[in-house]
Structure 1
């Protein structure tokens, strides 16, 4: 198959999953679209080599997560500090929307690498080894980042434990 055709086939088959993962990482639809586009542009440059090596999925994920961290770092330098914080949106009455807002806010409090580890481990359902491979780090780093991210979520968003019926150490 022609490399261009195989890239198109890959993108058409994986665009929805990549978009969902990007949205979970960024918490914003427009930033997620930008992240997916940036990722696919970077991957397209090396598609022939990547697809020849076997499964391109780990490479694509790694590009996405490293791009996310790079974009986050660039935006952090451009933070616009204001005397009055923007108004908070009022939550919708449905439980699903409220839960999504709590999860999104909790994920936004995490460092980009911690967020990436949680998305890969619990949303993408990757093993610790697959997550380490996707992020280019050791399994022990994945374990410690997961532990730290979950501890931070428990501290800053204890209402998440009530949503899934999980007890924290303080609740025992």
Structure 2
């Protein structure tokens, strides 16, 4: 099987939008997401023979994206306080929807990178616990633990914010 740059271009045309949406949800910043996707697609092109011969190309590239995001966070965690990114949001008449979206993204930003990756893979991408564990290279029990802890944190913060003033 001869793999060409045209094969790679076809893959990018078919999956770039999905990868960008996934990256935005994963990292909470559109500009950073574009940079992550760009970096990962360069790496995928360099390893295109390995990527193209994988059973599930998109899953392979998505895992590359998660790994790159996690390693990027490790690299820059010492230089930037965690969770200080601001998500660009347009203000419109759908204020309630945007407020809920902002609260959800803020909750995701406060989570440690592994918990965020698990929640995004499980709920946004719709992967099962086993598929999420396989994507992240960990055990299903670890995924369940990250899910439980990740889901508990925003819920606690949300209930404290909704408490009536005394």
Contact map agreement 1:128 1:143 (CA 8 A) in 2 = yes
Q: Tell me, yes or no, if the aligned pair for 1:110 and 1:149 is still in contact at 8 Å.
A: yes
Between 1:70-79 and 1:31-40, the stretch displaced more is 70-79
Corresponding residue number in structure 2 for 1:147 = 148
Residue 91 (structure 1) shift: 9.1
1:68 correspondence with 2:52: no
Q: Which runs of 5+ in 1 are unaligned?
A: 163-172
Partner of 2:139: 138
1:39-66: CA deviations, max 9, x gaps? 1111111111221132212211111111
Counterpart position of 1:107: 108
TM-score, reference length from structure 2: 0.83
**Distance of 1:55 and 1:79 partners within structure 2:** 35
* Other-structure match for 2:8: 7
Q: TM-score, normalised by structure 1?
A: 0.81
Give the Cα separation in 1 of the matches to 2:144 and 2:19: 23
1:156 shift after superposition? 2.1
